Structure 1
């Protein structure tokens, strides 16, 4: 009988260990653009880094934004050979609002500042970015809210909207400003008159966004 009890305890301990491991990895991840921290609502930070994408003059290479880790590790490399895939950092631009650096929107002077990011893990199973809202629907938990941003319409490269919700109170990297030659962020406005339904949308208004989880 004692051996059976000991065996059952061992099985139970193994089950509890697996359950704890699963609880740590279950859920979903999302990028918090413009911040180095994650919300204090049951989320944890996987890593911080630098918002990066293709150079604004490149018509090839990648079109999506990445959160490059600030702790890179290298494998084999050859500095003398130029690889043809390229990636650059990203800056806050908001050229039309440069008189105060978009502080009315973002709470600080952000013109020509470099953009950080954080990858956050939530215990909730699904996260989604909703463009056009700054509040979640009922039953969902808000991770963060902000403004929909993209690259400049006149740049050669194309950038994505998907998941690109800039936090409304972003941070900036403290290693200097940039000259606006690589990859730049701008607020996104709707264009009414043809295919966009107006109302509810209105031409010339900066579109909001929110990241929600459930």
Structure 2
């Protein structure tokens, strides 16, 4: 498990200033090691309900294909007047969706700290599964780019205090690539990738043992979908 902060020195200071409550990761003594930590997300329980959160908005972004793919997400505003904290976009990993337990858990913690959030469905996941002919993959950044453009142009009041991002697993790969592509022009002031499989050690691990079997099964599923 690795947490990575992306940005220049000023962005790092911004992150430390706005996220002082985010303690260093310490694994639960009963959930040590990558496999157990991966399984532990099944035990995550949260009371957050996107349909009942005050002021929540489910939104769609229609693509330019024919017929168009329709991507979807949820906006949950911070509670309490006068919040000047950035909107945090939360992106899930492979097999997840906007309302996965770990996504709601992260959103709940951010909302408690006064941050508005967007829970995002990657292409072909969650609510967008029935309205997309294609699936997302870790090298495809167009959807994240379209989301940022949509937020800044169509929903500017949501992100009037800036944008931040948190992305899990393969969603983190998309975020890291997007940050590399946009550089200083990135709309995100601060971004964090959680458990992103982007380095050589991860590649080697995914090519051996049980991990290889799971990866090959996933590839066959997406190839046949």
For CA contacts below 8 A with separation 6 or more, give which structure has more relative contact order.
1
TM-score in terms of structure 2 length: 0.23
Higher fraction of strand: 1
TM-score in terms of structure 1 length: 0.24
Higher fraction of helix: 2
Higher CA-based Rg:
1
